[in-house]
Chain A
């Protein structure tokens, strides 16, 4: 007889609770509600005012804006590499959000689609693009974006000659990866491609393409309106600005805007806290590995999270109480990676399968030391091997699970 147990993995809630802000908000403004907050409200905020994009890419560099989609890559470098290419270009506003524990892009597109559109139009102008594509996966985000485009057209805010369209793809994890988005827009399956060529070299319609996360575009619009210095007034020197965090495993899960560098404890404190305290944390959605121990003091900025052995990724955090079996969580997550692999790369197919099987054996009580050795080896040697970063999520899990096992089996006790 098979006994089904409840999943230990926590997905972002399907019904979005109202977002909240810590500190002075830029995206989660009071009064932002679907159907109430429209183009008029954005114009009143000072958005859509800037149409001269001279110096905008320098301003993004000065602001230190980094991509909010997961990789944290400097936005100005991406924009400039497309702007410097010859001929026609394309901008893709990526609002796909395949990460199961993240809901912030969806919140942003449903609540402030005009703000994202402003950023996307500025990106198209600054890079010299003749086509702008919104890449989304849900009915509510597609409808919100369509409404915003219609509003902007009616107000004469969409430049003549710029083709703007919406492309809807299936809601799988890998479909959100930038080359998968390009392949889907070009009429193929929403599966990643090997790189090179990178999108800025050859992307949609074989043209140099800027693929930018929608939250990054919203911050770019904000910087264009209010300046780099204002942007840097929140956050840390190396991780400036605010970010949208999706918090799970707490009393009041949902989307929260907070300055980068806010501690995990302060974030979850604003979300009603975590019952019983912190036993572990999934950082960067399900792709930054499983951190164990009390991490309430961890600063949620790019550098501190990397130093802790994880990645900020899309800003999704899931807390686990001290009584949660983290090895069982890791095993379930390993099986999710195995099931969700696009199965295009032999190394990903085999690597995720091996990691899942080993974590499942360990969670079942198998204490053979070769399991930990294997997890450490796969965690290091398989990183960067797939065509996309999906396998890297499984290797981060393998590395962090090996560390967790080291602690939980008492290897770090003083002799």
Chain B
């Protein structure tokens, strides 16, 4: 699985980090970015699915 954050959509809700703190991080203004290169480890896939579904701005995309 690969995941991407659309920086134009992220509105700093921070829900992604609540679901998947090993994959997403927030900067000092609360905006999200990926900790790695977007490759999701198998044990993180469920958390990333929850983060994707839970993002109010639909800023997270699972690419494959």
The answer to whether A and B belong to the same complex is yes
Q: A residues within 8 Å of B by Cβ?
A: 192-194, 196, 344-348, 350, 381-382, 385-387
Contact, CB under 8 Å: A345 / B8: yes
* Chain B residues positioned under 8 Å from A193 (CB to CB): 8
The listed residue (B6, B8, B29, B61) touching A350 by CB distance below 8 A is: B29
The listed residue (A194, A346, A350, A385) touching B4 by CB distance below 8 A is: A194
Distance from A192 Cβ to chain B, minimum over Cβ atoms (Å): 8
A243 to B8, CA, bound (A): 34
Distance from B61 Cβ to chain A, minimum over Cβ atoms (Å): 8
Contact, CB under 8 Å: B31 / A350: yes
Distance from A78 Cβ to chain B, minimum over Cβ atoms (Å): 20
* Chain B residues positioned under 8 Å from A346 (CB to CB): 7, 10-12, 29-31
| B interface secondary structure, majority | loop
Q: Which of B7-36 contact A (CB under 8 A)?
A: 7-12, 27, 29-31, 33
Q: Nearest chain-A residue to B25 (Cβ)?
A: A381
Contact, CB under 8 Å: A345 / B10: yes
* Chain A residues positioned under 8 Å from B33 (CB to CB): 347, 385
* Chain A residues positioned under 8 Å from B8 (CB to CB): 192-194, 344-345, 387
Contact, CB under 8 Å: A385 / B7: yes
Contact, CB under 8 Å: A196 / B4: yes
Q: Nearest chain-A residue to B27 (Cβ)?
A: A347
Known A196-B63, A346-B12; judge A381-B27 contact (CB<8 A).
yes
Contact, CB under 8 Å: A194 / B31: no
A193 to B33, CA, bound (A): 16
Q: Which 10 A-B pairs have the closest CB atoms?
A: A194-B6, A345-B7, A350-B29, A344-B8, A346-B31, A347-B31, A387-B8, A387-B7, A194-B8, A345-B8
Contact, CB under 8 Å: B29 / A347: yes
The listed residue (B7, B61, B63) touching A348 by CB distance below 8 A is: B7
A193 to B31, CA, bound (A): 17
* Chain B residues positioned under 8 Å from A194 (CB to CB): 4, 6-9
* Chain B residues positioned under 8 Å from A347 (CB to CB): 7, 10, 27, 29, 31, 33
* Chain A residues positioned under 8 Å from B6 (CB to CB): 194, 387
Q: Nearest chain-A residue to B4 (Cβ)?
A: A196
* Chain A residues positioned under 8 Å from B11 (CB to CB): 346
* Chain B residues positioned under 8 Å from A345 (CB to CB): 7-8, 10, 31
Distance from B57 Cβ to chain A, minimum over Cβ atoms (Å): 10
A386 to B31, CA, bound (A): 11
A192 to B9, CA, bound (A): 12
* Chain B residues positioned under 8 Å from A382 (CB to CB): 27
Instruction: List 17 interface pairs A-B (beta carbons < 8 Å), by A numbering.
Output: A192-B8, A193-B8, A194-B8, A344-B7, A345-B7, A346-B7, A346-B29, A346-B31, A348-B7, A350-B29, A381-B27, A385-B7, A385-B31, A385-B33, A387-B6, A387-B7, A387-B8
